[in-house]
Chains A and B, each alone.
Chain A
Amino acid sequence: MKLSLIGCAIAFAFCVAFAKSVHADPLAGMVGVWTGSGWARQVPGAAKEALRCRLSNTYDAAKRRLDINGQCAVPGKRLEIGGPVVVARQGA
């Protein structure tokens, strides 16, 4: 549960960050190794926690699918993180 929440948060952060430089395929620009800091909550309503992540992303252009793999850490804990981000077809 926690993992997926944090995964969503990370994915969302990436989407927001790159939405500013929107082009035909924004996910393609997210390929590679990424390091960043931010915050997360363990559960909705919980206190914010400092977060640092290291992710390695691969992109499948045919499926327009970005696979995210890596680790995030909050103080005292390390979490494996992974999952896909897929561009939804217009009208879907």
Chain B
Amino acid sequence: MTRLWDRLVTGLLLRPWTSALILIVLVILAIAPVAGLRFDNDMNRVFMSDSDLSRAQRNFEAQYDTLISNVAILVEADAPLGPQQFAMARNVALDLEFVPGVAAVSSPFALRFPPNHPNYPDAPVFPSELAGANITARLAAFQELNSGLPALVAGQSLLIVAAVNTAGRPLVDVLPDLRQAAASLEGHGLHATVTGEDVVNIAIAEGLSADLLRLNLIGAALTVLAALLLLRDVRLAIIAVVPGLAGAAATLGLAAWLGYPITVLNNVIPVLMLVLGVANGLHLAVHLAAAEGNLRARIEDTLRIIGPASVLTATTTAVAFAAIMAAPNGPLLEFAVLGALGVVLTLVILLLGFAVLAAALAPARRSVGAGWGKVAVTAGTFALRAPRATLMIGLVVLALAGAGFATTKAWFPLYQNLPAGSALGPANDQIAAKFGGVFQAWVEMPQGADWAALSAAIRAVAAAVPGAVVLSELGIARWLGAPGAAPPAVMQAQLPASVTQRLRDPFAGTLRFAVAMPEPMRNAAVLAAFDLMERAALEAGAARVIGLAAVMRHESVTLVHQLSLGLLLAAALGAALVAAAFRSVRLLPALLVANMAPVLVAGAALHLLTDGQLTPPAVLALTIAFGVAVDDTVHFLSRFRHARASGSLPGAAARAALTSAGGVMVMTTLLLAAGLAVTAFSIFFPVQLFGMLLIISLVAALLADLVLLPAMLCIGVPRDET
């Protein structure tokens, strides 16, 4: 390995122009397709797996030649709704019927009394002439039918739902027309918000492109600034930063090459490549600055000593990304592949770029970061004086952090993926409070279940969740005043097919009903209500509960558990890799303790950051954190091993490692934290959380590497074998 590396370094330095050419071609090729990047507008992909539930959901969706997406328009008034406001809202509901792609419109104005109603036979609940009509009395008469059909009017709000056939016209094309129609209500004491399951996805995609640009530009600025402040030398800063910048841009291009859309999860990867690339570049630049000899000897010395550690740290990070593949899930697989390949690409660009830039720009020899080195030595020396006590404190922290992490709960709040300031979150809460919610759970009866079984299941759900908004054939039958039997087909034909067709399987005749609800993990109370509803339905004889609400409820938990396995896998593989590289099995416990402690500390911090919710972005951050945290461990162990090989005793070797690597470890941690601080500027909370957790992990990892690791190395855990 060492010989192969030496040959590579020699080749790199013998042919600098070839290296430069390869570098330029590689970067241009990688970046070329970046203009073709697309942004994901299907957040639901993240929930779907190969589970029975996901398969049932896919079968359910595949049964219909139309692909209906319900778009809700929440209309809210400044004052109680009167005839004028109702008339304006009704005009909007009618205008929506003309929007190409809209299959049907549900609204309070579409409500009708049954043909046999004693007072208003076959009349609309909202009459043609609204002025003078007693709307309150008519709505009360409708409610007295006990149909369970939603009136879609509550207090100062009303709801209009447009069923869009996305097979005919994509929702992204229809949405501007819907928003324009809704906007006509503004300025008349009414406010309209367009929302819905898929509208949320589009809002996320709309925010992503601006966020990606913002993250990369500000991230680059912060990293450059941090590098300049830490190195205090423009030429060294260029050597450290430029390869990382090129690596980030190339990784963005890589996403386009792979055909991967940018998602809320992976839009942080280019910034991550930037900071990781610059951190490694900092290690190289600091060593180059202090190396002795002529220019070529300094570059060669740097690449021979720091290069292998850079390769190893990149490998552990790539392994951490690859471990995410443990979750069989499309977007996460893309995240893992893009991250792992991005790390490799950034490493290649880094090593080539360093060789080329150092040859052109290396400043005269001087020491860099001596002040930071003193900080590191002070911290480490304190631990070396009392290694056993330090280890005990470390183990207590590990145990407490582990307990904190173990008590987090798997969670997936979809609303947190909305851009900051989006009106959709509050609108969805309003719809949930007044109309049940914008998400639907579909309760499916067993094949052959009869009308009595359907009625019993609906009654059970209504009893378990009082006030549940249920759409069912039973509701239509109640509306007709004959709840004892399925409504005649001729009566059902009076209702829009987009509303009724899913209530009965078109082939097997299986009966279903829909329960409107908020996203199931909006809060603990909503989750409890969903679970109650599901249990009641199943106990009453339902075969299964499907729909996006059910998929979100169950698949998200499975997803978090799978990702947690990925975290363990990343830790095991990363530690094993480093131990193998240093040819010491006994290093494993020290590696695991020193690097799991920071990850668990960050995991436990979720109790402060997210009320203990362990979300997929959080587990992803912790997984990557292990891969990054182990980087400083590698650099420390590399110097420690060099010192031991020179005959130093463990304590002296640890001090030597602290002196030579401690300063740059502090500097890279500061630089990484500064670069990752850009996530605070993201409009997406998952991105902010990702950054916060990585920063917490890295700072904790620095402490572990400067304090805990030297202590463990000096008390024989492990006993050094050299």
A contact residues vs B (CB 8 Å cutoff): 37, 39, 46-52, 54, 71, 73-78
Contact = CB atoms under 8 A, between A and B. Distances in A.
25 contacts: A39-B128, A39-B129, A47-B124, A47-B127, A47-B128, A48-B128, A49-B124, A50-B94, A50-B126, A51-B94, A52-B91, A54-B98, A71-B98, A75-B93, A75-B94, A75-B109, A75-B110, A75-B124, A76-B107, A76-B109, A76-B110, A76-B496, A77-B97, A78-B97, A78-B98
B95 A76 contact: no
A50 B95 contact: no
Contacts of B90: 50, 75
Contacts, number: 59
B120 interface: yes
Nearest to A76: B110
Contact of B122 (A37, A47, A73, A77): A47
A49 B110 CA distance: 10
B649 interface: no
Contacts of B106: 76
Nearest to A41: B128
B123 interface: yes
Nearest to B495: A76
B344 to A, nearest CB: 56
B122 A46 contact: yes
B511 interface: no
B97 A48 contact: no
A74 B104 CA distance: 11
Interface string B82-126: 000000001101110110000011110110100000001011101
B130 to A, nearest CB: 8
Contacts of A78: 97-98
Interface string B477-505: 00000000000000000011000000000
A47 B123 contact: yes
B95 A52 contact: yes
A54 B107 CA distance: 20
A46 B122 CA distance: 8
A62 B557 CA distance: 72
A71 B105 CA distance: 15
A47 B124 CA distance: 8
Contacts of B97: 52, 71, 73, 77-78
Interface residues of B, number: 24
B128 A49 contact: yes
Nearest to A37: B91
B120 A47 contact: yes
Contacts of B109: 50, 75-76
Nearest to B130: A50
Contacts of A76: 104-107, 109-110, 112, 495-496
Nearest to A52: B94
Going nearest first, the 6 A-B pairs with the smallest beta carbon separation are A76-B110, A73-B97, A75-B109, A48-B128, A47-B123, A52-B94
B142 to A, nearest CB: 14
Contacts of B129: 39, 48
Contacts of A48: 127-129
Nearest to B90: A50
Nearest to B123: A47
Question: Which has the most chain A C-beta neighbours within 10 Å: B94, B112, B123?
Answer: B94
B492 to A, nearest CB: 13
Contacts of B128: 39, 47-51
A75 B107 contact: yes
A51 B95 CA distance: 10
A40 B110 CA distance: 14
Nearest to B120: A47
A37 B122 CA distance: 22
Nearest to A73: B97
Interface string B359-372: 00000000000000
B90 to A, nearest CB: 6
Question: Which has the most chain B C-beta neighbours within 10 Å: A37, A48, A51, A78?
Answer: A78
A74 B496 CA distance: 12
A48 to B, nearest CB: 4
A52 to B, nearest CB: 4
Contacts of B122: 46-47
A83 B221 CA distance: 66
Given A75-B90, A75-B124, A77-B110, 18 more contacts: A37-B94, A46-B122, A46-B123, A47-B120, A49-B124, A50-B94, A51-B94, A52-B95, A54-B98, A71-B98, A75-B93, A75-B107, A75-B110, A76-B104, A76-B105, A76-B109, A76-B495, A78-B97
Contacts of A51: 94, 128
A50 to B, nearest CB: 5
B68 to A, nearest CB: 15
Interface string B127-158: 11100000000000000000000000000000
B287 to A, nearest CB: 73
Contacts of A50: 90, 94, 109, 124, 126, 128
A76 B94 CA distance: 8
Contacts of A54: 98
A51 B91 CA distance: 9
Contacts of A74: 94
Nearest to B160: A75
Contacts of B126: 50, 75
Contacts of A37: 91, 94
A48 B94 CA distance: 15
Question: Which has the most chain B C-beta neighbours within 10 Å: A47, A49, A50, A75?
Answer: A75
